[in-house]
Every structure is written in structure tokens, then in C-alpha cells.
Chains A and B, each alone.
Chain A
């Protein structure tokens, strides 16, 4: 028996030793030399998320970059679950040199990395390219902490407005105010009971709509204040106006009746998108990727258009929210120099052309003109419409570990579908209260300076 116990103790000691080893290897990577491949080329390890944009645009850009920089080997690791792969690597002290993973994903990976100071300051890169790119698009995202330093490099953008079928609604018929919008909804629904004003893929798609409305309701100052969880964001007339408008929009008269049910099943977002394409709803919030995403089931004759948010009053400001996708360099990257060069390359004319050939628009000035697809190019014309303001912004960082019970997205967007489905006890007032409470909590828990 004693022997057995001794054997057990040895096993335990060995196990502790093994686990101890596995977590010990971090820290010294930053000092080490840049790894090279068999041909002596410096490896640029690039972890990239596979999404609606596909892989080719970055693969081709990387190939072009390698042509110009013969001593660099860009090794892209693509994965739908790249966040999980990276977390595993990070746990053993391994970091990529460059990452393509956006803010606002379910895993919050980019936010966690930013908030724990694990993203490199790339202000030098962004300053260098500033003259060539539209900084009004890139800056709000790049300067994540609002301290004038850039951490993220937005490499593409899209107008996240209200998408509609141009073949069905002419420009003259498009509503310019919310009143006109709802009147249009009443009209189509009274003519055809199965036709509605609005649908949304899943509730998260309201992010850009809410951002745009914040700007529209109270202007630049109110908008900036709201992004920093300022007082008076929600418990104000502006806040109430936003919530009431959304609540009305998802009411039974205006929201396509199956939207909520579809939004809550696996893959249901495409069903909702399809119902808009099929003409069951006039508008939905989305981005320009929708053209490619739904290409297979979009009938001929359908023509994508995007409209800025209707104004709250006659002659009021029209807003279209710009959504960006970003790359960033982990603070512990072994080959940050080449990663920075590659980011600069991604902002070049050459890269913009490659992107455009894959229907992706670089924030480099004039890149939308490079698009070959007229329909897609037309979507970017929304920025040239008279009196339309492009808005872009990210909510300020907060100390997520100090307030672990905060459900940011759930609190903002959750009540939308609860109101839509008529859940008992959920009203604009309760939504407003919980948002005010959330804003107070987040205001009181800013991210302490690293």
C-alpha cells in the first residue's frame, strides 16, 4: 500500500512537472531573433480569420508583398476559429506577427488583447500612411483607446446602412425621415399583408444602426460622449428617441413576422436575409459583403442599394455608419518590423487594386472607384450623397475583468428581439433603465492605464 502511495506521489510530481514546463516557456520570445525558413527568409506569421471576404484577397496581397520583399516569407494561417487557435498558442507563450481579427466578435479576443496591453502601438505606421488613406474612416477604430495612439489598422471598410432592392424602390421613393419610413411600411403592409418594412439577420446587426442613430439624435458631441459611456446618453430625450424608434421599427406592423424565430436558429440569419431578397421586407441593416454572401440565391433583376438612416426630422442629418475590418500586431510579435511593412503595403495602391478585384474596398483614398462590379460601386456612392454624414466609432474600452457580469451586447441589443416578440415586462422604459445602469457601470470601471 505504501508503495502504491509512493507511486501515486511520483505520478503527481511528474504531472506537475510536465504541466509546469508547458506554461513556463513564455516571455523570452520578444528578445529572440526573427525565425527564418529553410531558405533563410524571415517568417512573417500571420493569423487570419476566414469570413465572408474569403482568403484570396490577402493571399494575393501577401504574394505581391513577397515579390517586392524577397527575404520575407508571409505564412498565413487561416481558420474560422482563429481566435481559439491563437488563445491556445498564447497560453504557451506563442504569438503571431500579425493578426486579422476584428472587434465585436463573440469571443472578444481582439478587445481582450487590447485591454491587457498585448497589442502593439503602430502609430508610426498609421502616421506614415495617413496622407494616402481616408483617416476619417480609419482613425476612430485605429485609435482604440482615444489617446491619439494607433493600435489597430483598418484595412477595409463598408457602408453599414439599410440595404434594399433598387429594382423595387426607386431613389425618389426612398424615405428621408423616420416618419416617411413608417408611412412606407404602413403602405406596403396594407397592400400586401405578407410584406413588411424591415427585417434584420440577427440582433447583433443593430450595432451600426445604433451607432448611426446616436450620432443622428444628438450630433458629434453627444455621439462622442455616448461612446465614452458619458452621463445622459440614455436617460435623455435623445436616448429615448433612439430606443423608441427601434422599438417601433421592430413592432408587429413593421418587422417581418418570422425574423425573431429565424434569428434564433443555427444559420437563420441567411433565412432572414433571403426573406428581404424575396421581397418580404423592404430594408435590413447589413454591409456590402451581402452582395457576395447571398449571390447564389439572389434572383436576376434584383439590384442591391444602400440607404443612409432616415433623419429624425425633416431636413435632419442623414447618417451612414462605416464598418471597418482590422489587422493588428501582437505586442510580443517576433517579427514586428516586417509586419509593419506589410501593413504599409496593405494600404498601397497595389493592394487596393487586389482588394478591389475581390470586391473589397481599402480605406486608401479613391479605392471604391477601383471596383469593377457596378452594383457594388453603387453601394459606396452612398458616401457621395448630398447631406450624408459618414460616421464611425467604437465604444471605449472598459475594465471587463472588474465587471465580469456585464453583458454589453446582450444589454444593448437583447431587448430588441424581446420587444419584437412581445416579451412580458420588457418595454422601452426597462430597456432605457438597464442601458443607463450599464453606462454608469462602465463609466465607473474605465480601463486603468497600462
Chain B
């Protein structure tokens, strides 16, 4: 009994620092966000008036907020689609195929991920520049003048230009994650498959994909969370939400720190719920029995 007691005390002592930190820096701020969203409050120090769900009522009649949700979902869906396909494709190439400079490519793909978002913004302002930008110059030089566009100046395509930059940024990270789980697939599975006459495609769909399925599921949650965060940073640095490019966290930031903290926190609450439910839904619909090997 005393031993058990001592053990419990030890466990409690070990957990306490983490528990205190989590409470202090995660639980309390999150609760505060939910609380502030019910108040009319200009800043952290301003007076507060309880107004119930009025902030949320206003939000759902706020055309910019609705636009920001729309953009946010579009960005998450398109980025996830493109990044997942490209990352798995490159990961397969780099793990399953033999060619010169494999390691170099691995590094090159990963570089965008370690770059600061401000640098990425700088790179893409050079790529998308209308008259002397890399993209338009490349298109003209290969005779595709008709495809040149005002990438950041056309309301119809600016959101896709932003998505393009974020996909470029994300591929390397996810590629490395998929490569890690692909290398752990036993080689004999592939050998057996090829003896049975399965081609590369069949091997990919029958072995590689099922074996890394759990890994893909985990990354789906990352996609939702990191896309929400990175699109905020990228949009803030470039358009700052103007020109129909508003995203949820940027709108939250612009409201919360310009004298409407309560309203901003209400946006934060919706973002929180959206991120959670999207991640949850993705997790649910992708549930399969894990493949053991």
C-alpha cells in the first residue's frame, strides 16, 4: 500500500509540470477564447460587456467572414488534394526507383519547408510578377504567351496563385513523412508481387498505398491544421486579406487586434470548431483496418 502510495505520488510529481504548463498555456487561453467570444470587448485591457451569441449572429451576416470560410475550405481541400498526390508520387519515386542524385532531390524537395513564410512570399512575388516574373517569362519563352496572367492581380485566379505557393511549400514535408513509412515496408512484399506478375502500378496500389494508409490518415489532420496556419501567414504577408483572399485566421487577427477582440475571438471559436470537425470527419471516413506486416 505504501509502495503504491509512493508510486502515485511519484507519478503525480512527474505529471505536475506538464499539467501546469498545459493548463496555463493551452487550457486557460482556449477557455478564454471561448469566453471572450461572448463579450463585446475592444482589447485585452478594454471593458467587457456580455452579449451572448451576438458576435456569432453578426459573423454569419458578415460577408467578409463568409468569404473567409469559403476561401479557407477551398484552400484546405485543393492543397490537400494536390499535395497528397504529388508528395506520394515523389516519395514513391525516391524510395522505389533507382536513379542518380536521389539524395539531392530529397534535399531540394525539403528545402521549401525550412524556409520562412516571408521568404516564400518573396520568392513567389518574383515568380508571379506580372511583367518580368519567372512564370510569365517561362510561359512566353516556350511560346505559351496566351497562358500568361496577372497571377496576383486577377480576382479569378489570385486564390489559386496562393494555393500554388502553399502546395510548393508543403510537398517536401509530406514527402519525407511518406518516405519514412514507405521504407519500412518489407522488400519481400514487392518481390513476391513482382514474381506474381504485378507491375509497378499494381504494386503501388496493392502494397505501398495500403501499407502507408495509417500514415496518410495522420497527415490529413496535419493538412487541415497546417493549411489553416500557413494560409494565414502567407495571406497576411501578401494581400493581407484584400482582393477576395481573406482567410479565417487573418480575419480573426485583423479584428482581434484592431479594437474588436471579442469579435475576433468569435472567429477563433469558429475556426477551432471547423478545424476540429474537419480533422475528425477526415479521420472517420478514412478509417480502415490497419494492415500488418
Which residues of B in the span 101-149 have a Cβ within 8 Å of any Cβ on A? 118, 121-122, 124-125, 128-131
Assembled-state Cα–Cα distance A10/B62 (Å): 42
The answer to whether A404 and B55 have CB atoms under 8 Å apart is: yes
Interface string of B172-187 (1 = CB under 8 A from A): 0000000000000000
Give Cα A424 to B12, complex, Å.
62
Q: Is the CB of B23 within 8 A of A401?
A: no
Q: Which residue of chain B has its CB nearest to the CB of A403? A: B58
Q: Find chain A residues with CB under 8 A from B242 CB.
A: 203, 264, 410, 414, 417
Interface residues of B in 27-46 (CB under 8 A from A): 27-28, 40-46
Given the known interface contacts A7-B19, A15-B24, A404-B55, the answer about A112 and B259 at a Cβ–Cβ threshold of 8 Å is: yes
**Cα separation A16 to B41 with both chains bound (whole Å):** 21
Report whether A258 and B130 are in contact in the complex, using a CB–CB cutoff of 8 Å.
yes
**Are B64 and A16 interface neighbours, CB within 8 A?**
no
Contact A265 B263 (CB under 8 A): no
Decide: A16 and B11 in contact? CB cutoff 8 A: no
Partner of A12, one of B23, B59, B158: B23
Q: Does B286 belong to the interface (CB within 8 Å)?
A: no
Given the known A-B contacts A4-B8, A19-B24, A410-B64, are A401 and B259 also in contact in the complex, defined by CB atoms under 8 Å? yes
A19 touches B153 (CB 8 A): no
For window 148-171 of B, CB contacts with A under 8 Å fall at 150-155, 158
Across the interface, A421 reaches (CB within 8 A) one of B23, B121, B153, B240, namely B153
Whether the pair A421, B150 counts as a contact (CB closer than 8 A) is: yes
Given that A14-B20, A108-B259 are contacting pairs, would A421 and B155 also be in contact in the complex, using a CB cutoff of 8 Å?
yes
- For B58, list chain A residues within 8 Å (CB): 404-405
Q: How far is the CA of A209 from the CA of B13 in the complex (A)?
A: 65
A266–B150 contact, CB under 8 A? no
A269 to B234, CA, bound (A): 17
B241 CB to nearest chain A CB (Å):
8
Within the assembled complex, what's the spacing in Å between the Cα atoms of A98 and B114?
40
The digit string for A54-70, where 1 denotes a CB below 8 A from any CB of B, is 00000000000000000
Is A316 among interface residues, defined by CB-CB distance under 8 A?
Answer: no
Interface string of B195-215 (1 = CB under 8 A from A): 000000000000000000000
Are B23 and A26 within 8 A (Cβ)?
A: no
**With contact pairs A260-B153, A261-B153, A414-B242 given, residues A266 and B125 touching in the complex (Cβ less than 8 Å):** yes
- B54 (CB) vs chain A CBs: closest residue: A404
Looking at the complex, which of B91-99, B250-258, B269-277 is the stretch in contact with chain A? B250-258
Contact B12 A106 (CB under 8 A): no
B18 and chain A: residue at smallest CB distance? A11
- Report if A75 contacts B (CB, 8 A): no
Asked if A418 lies at the interface with its beta carbon under 8 angstroms from chain B, I say: yes
Question: Quick one: closest B residue to A404, CB to CB?
Answer: B263
Q: B153 and A405: CB pair below 8 A?
A: no
Q: Is A93 an interface residue (CB 8 A)?
A: yes
Q: In the bound complex, how far is the Cα of B45 from the Cα of A263, in angstroms?
A: 34
Whether a CB of chain B sits under 8 angstroms from the CB of A80 is no
Q: Does A385 have its Cβ within 8 Å of any Cβ on chain B? A: no
* Residues A4 and B11 in contact, CB atoms below 8 Å apart: yes
Q: Judge if B281 is at the interface, Cβ distance under 8 Å.
A: no
Quick one: CB contact mask for A417-429 with B, threshold 8 Å, 1 for yes?
1100101100000
B130-A262 in contact (CB<8A) = yes
Using known A-B contacts A4-B15, A26-B45, A405-B64, determine if residue A266 contacts B237 with beta carbons closer than 8 Å.
yes
In the complex, the answer to whether B24 meets A18 with C-beta atoms within 8 Å is yes
CB distance from A318 to the nearest CB of B (A): 31
Q: In the complex, are the beta carbons of A3 and B12 less than 8 A apart? A: yes
Q: Which of A107, A271, A405, A423 contacts B258 (CB 8 A)?
A: A107
Contact of A401 among B121, B150, B153, B262 (CB under 8 A): B262
Query: Are A264 and B152 also in contact (CB < 8 A) when A18-B24, A258-B130 are?
Result: yes
Q: Is B238 an interface residue (CB 8 A)?
A: yes
Known A258-B130, A261-B130, A405-B59: A7·B152 in contact at CB below 8 Å: no
Tell me, yes or no, whether A8 is within 8 Å of chain B by CB.
yes
What residue of chain A has the Cβ atom nearest to residue B117's Cβ? A266
Nearest A residue to B22, CB-CB = A11
Q: Within the complex, which residue of A19, A90, A261, A405 is in contact with B151, where a contact is CB–CB below 8 Å?
A: A261
A107 to B185, CA, bound (A): 52
Any chain A CB within 8 A of the CB of B218? no
Residue from the list A257, A265, A417 in contact with B238, Cβ < 8 A: A265
Chain B residues in 8 Å Cβ range of A414: 242-243
Report the separation of the CA atoms of residues A12 and B260 in the bound assembly, to the nearest whole angstrom. 29
Distance in Å: Cβ of A179 to nearest Cβ of chain B: 28
Known: A7-B19, A261-B150. Contact between A116 and B129, CB under 8 A? no
The answer to whether A265 touches B259 (Cβ under 8 A) is no
Contact yes or no, A423 B155, CB < 8 A: yes
Q: Which residue of A lies closest to B154 (CB)?
A: A421
Residue among B28, B130, B240, B244 with most chain A CB within 10 A: B130
Are B155 and A418 in contact, with the CB atoms below 8 A?
yes
Given contacts A12-B23, A15-B20, contact A418 B259 (CB under 8 A): no
Cβ-defined partner of A266 (8 Å) among B122, B151, B153 = B122
Asked whether B239 is an interface residue with its Cβ less than 8 Å from the other chain, the reply is yes
The CA of A46 and the CA of B205, in the complex, are separated in Å by: 65
Q: B257 contacts which chain A residues (CB < 8 A)? A: 84, 87, 107
Q: Mark A111-136, 1 if CB is under 8 A from B, else 0.
A: 11001100000000000000000000
B189 / chain A contacts, CB cutoff of 8 Å? none
Chain A residues with Cβ below 8 Å from B78 are: none
A261 to B20, CA, bound (A): 48
Q: A15-B24, A264-B242, A414-B243 are in contact. List 19 more A-B contacts (CB 8 A).
A: A7-B13, A8-B19, A11-B16, A15-B27, A112-B258, A116-B43, A259-B153, A261-B130, A261-B154, A262-B129, A265-B128, A266-B237, A404-B58, A405-B59, A407-B64, A414-B242, A417-B242, A417-B243, A418-B244
Nearest first, the 9 closest Cβ-Cβ pairs linking A and B are A261-B153, A404-B263, A112-B259, A265-B125, A260-B153, A405-B62, A108-B258, A7-B12, A91-B44
9 contacts between A and B (CB under 8 A): A15-B23, A115-B42, A115-B259, A116-B43, A261-B129, A265-B128, A268-B152, A404-B255, A404-B260
